[in-house]
Chain A
Amino acid sequence: MKRLSFKDCFHCSLAFGLLFFASSESFADQAEQAPGRTMARQATKTTQIWITTDHSKHEILQQAFTSGPEVTKACLACHSEAAAQFHKTIHWTWLDPNVDPQERIGKAGLSVNNFCISIHGNEPRCTSCHAGYGWADKSFDFADPTKVDCLVCHEQTGTYQKFPAGAGNPVPEPTVFKGNGKEYFPPDWNKVAQSVGRPTRKNCGVCHFLGGGGDAVKHGDLDTSLMKPDKQLDVHMGVDGQNFDCVRCHSTTLHNIAGRTYSTPAAMERKSLVEDDLVSKITCESCHTSRPHKPGEKPNDHTDKVACQSCHIPEFARVNPTKLWWDWSQAGKKKDGKPYAVKGPLGKPVYDSKKGDFLWAKSVKPEYFWYNGSINAITAKDMINPGQTVQINWPVGNQADQNSRIAPFKVHRGKQPYDKINKTLLIARLFGKKGSGAYWGDWDWKTAFTSGMEKAGLNFSGEFDWVETSYVFPITHMVAPKAKSLTCTECHSKTNSRLANLTGFYMPGRDGSKVITFAGWATVFGSLAGVLVHALGRIFTNGRNGRKEK
């Protein structure tokens, strides 16, 4: 047998050395930025002026307007197809565009939430956020092109306001809204009409940041803090960063704005601009691709099962507090015979006689669920089980589904009325004067339910009680700077894992086996005890090495 020479060994060590060096490549190049970032930067140059017309020069927009529909008529004179396009969109119908209208899925139908529950009977208030004029009740003519409100989405003066209880109309003369004590003014029609352009954050925000009737009530990741956010709050929208408008990602074709509608995902395919330059930019992958991190970095291996948002939005509502709990059953208390409200520590009401108890929170950690982009919901027609928390809507997806990822959600919980006999959620008429049957006028639930259910075309048995419900919002805005994204142990941990509720799969660091761990330690400590006893034996018997040799 030949003895290995020194030279052989030297070569071996050299080989090992090279080997370590080679495999350490993945650790190098820390300074270089992630490809997903480079590509997204590449794809988004500063905004250009694309518009080839100046609306202030059009005579038709210089006439004396007295109402919204008159302006719309003028718009349609050139943009002949705009109203027809818009009539088909969810912004107009408030119905799920991908479901037969007969099914009445959507908020103009029988869909409900656990905020103000439903628009039925409350139209003039709710439809102040309808991109139309005059939806005061069921008689509204959805086929009338002049009823489309072009201005609310396109005007750029920032002065155009719809009255909060005006069924989508601005006021004809200065009027104070009792709900918030603010005075609303009629628009300077010529000015606003001549200012039109692509929608900005403000156009979308006046409705979407104030969903549920107030700032930050609903989504948690959409509120007025996004009007002029800094990069810390939103890397995409930050005025000191990319300064994106909403439509930069919610790209639009024929007035159809990209985004989820009820159970229809925002995108059916996850493609990047590199694969398809006409793809909607609604997914993170559109610009960042599906392997955005540096080669060899672990997060790239997560993109098939974990939504980008899960790690990159560590908390939502980081500036303005959002509502997490709404208990209608506590509504109706009076002080000296009068309704009242109590402000809580965050400057937000914790009680309001009209609405009940609230809880608000800031910088909220999301809850996580498997999600394939689709959210299913029950309607006011569906039977519920009042014995447990009723999920009004829920993310669709599971671990086995290729299109599902673990995604972050805000869950809004609360207590709301249900019909004890019919076992359905109840719609209340809330908004209306004394004598109208509305709860905020007459303070009687039974008449409010009778009126609301009748307007919705549903039965009310006359008996009601309160049931706990939950409502989910996918969290996708307020993407934080990369330094703030989650560290591994936020999830890969035995204690306080953010994913503690998701079971049925193995996650390193979070999961394990009590049996193996116990048996493992037993073996280790058994061995330790064994050698200790043996060593003691050697010492006491003066056995081999039990004492110093002579």
Chain B
Amino acid sequence: MGVNNNLKNMYLYTRFERFWHWLQTVLIIILLITGFETNGLYTSWGFENAVAVHNFVGISWLIAFAFFVFWIFTTGEWRQYVPTTKKMLLVVRYYLHGIFRGEPHPVPKRKDAKHNPLQRLTYLSLAAILLPVQMVTGFLYWGYNSWNAWGLSGFSLKAVAMVHLAGAFAILSFVIVHIYMITTGRTLFAHTRAMITGWEEVEDVASVEDWEVKTKAA
């Protein structure tokens, strides 16, 4: 493994991003736990509590997500999610092969490119498809009693509920893979640390701007 002497601490995630990330983590985990109880997959908190918490957290999340969307567009951070096929195969090859041989990551993190091509695609489908689908179906489910008033009387509750359920499984799978993937950083907790403090030690510093670099405190 290439020992990198040029390790530099780089500020990757702003306070807002980190706050948003952990807030969303908590919300999604609560939604998963309560949603699956609502479905009847297990019993623990009680259906009534599960539904009440699920609805409350779900609606709160919808509102919070609006802030996130606002932030991502006003800051231009949306560019971080623009999909690219460049180096995609390299990244895939890395996770299937290179990682086992201690090779360095083919697309190291940079301030203006926090996500590698695989991540971009994953996060884009998550943030632009899976989560919105979950939110829309969740909102519809929540508003079931108003469907007539909304002119949606033709909708099928079963269909909405089943898309929502399928979405929940997809999100759970994402969470599992995601939790694993964050251990593949330079050290097991490098990525986690970055998401907590905002700073990550990155190997390729070529494109790191001056202000972003902080010398490691001894």
Contact = CB atoms under 8 A, between A and B. Distances in A.
B75 A508 contact: no
B180 A509 contact: no
B29 interface: no
Interface residues of B, number: 54
B75 A549 contact: no
Contact of B162 (A2, A516, A526, A541): A516
Interface in B24-55: 38-41, 43, 46-48, 51-52
A508 B59 CA distance: 18
| Most interface-central of B41, B56, B63, B176 (chain A CB within 10 A) | B176
B187 A509 contact: no
Q: Is the interface of A mostly helix, strand, loop or mixed?
A: helix
Interface in B155-175: 156-158, 161-162, 165-166, 168-170, 172-173
Contact of A27 (B46, B56, B100, B183): B56
B40 A512 contact: yes
A242 B52 CA distance: 32
A174 interface: no
Q: Is the interface of B mostly helix, strand, loop or mixed?
A: helix
Interface stretch (A10-18, A41-49, A54-62, A91-99): A10-18
A50 interface: no
B154 interface: no
A492 interface: yes
B188 interface: yes
B174 to A, nearest CB: 8
A524 interface: yes
Contacts of B19: 9, 12-13
A101 interface: no
Interface stretch (A209-217, A450-458, A529-537): A529-537
| Most interface-central of B46, B51, B169, B185 (chain A CB within 10 A) | B169
Contacts of B183: 535, 545
B76 A519 contact: no
Interface string B90-120: 0000010001111100000000000000000
Given A524-B173, A531-B180, 17 more contacts: A19-B63, A488-B47, A492-B47, A508-B51, A512-B165, A513-B162, A520-B168, A527-B176, A528-B176, A531-B177, A538-B100, A541-B100, A541-B101, A544-B184, A544-B186, A545-B183, A549-B1
Interface of A: 1-4, 6, 8-9, 12-13, 15-16, 19-20, 23-24, 26-27, 298, 301, 304, 487-489, 492-494, 505-506, 508-513, 516-517, 519-521, 523-524, 526-528, 530-531, 534-535, 537-538, 541-546, 549-550
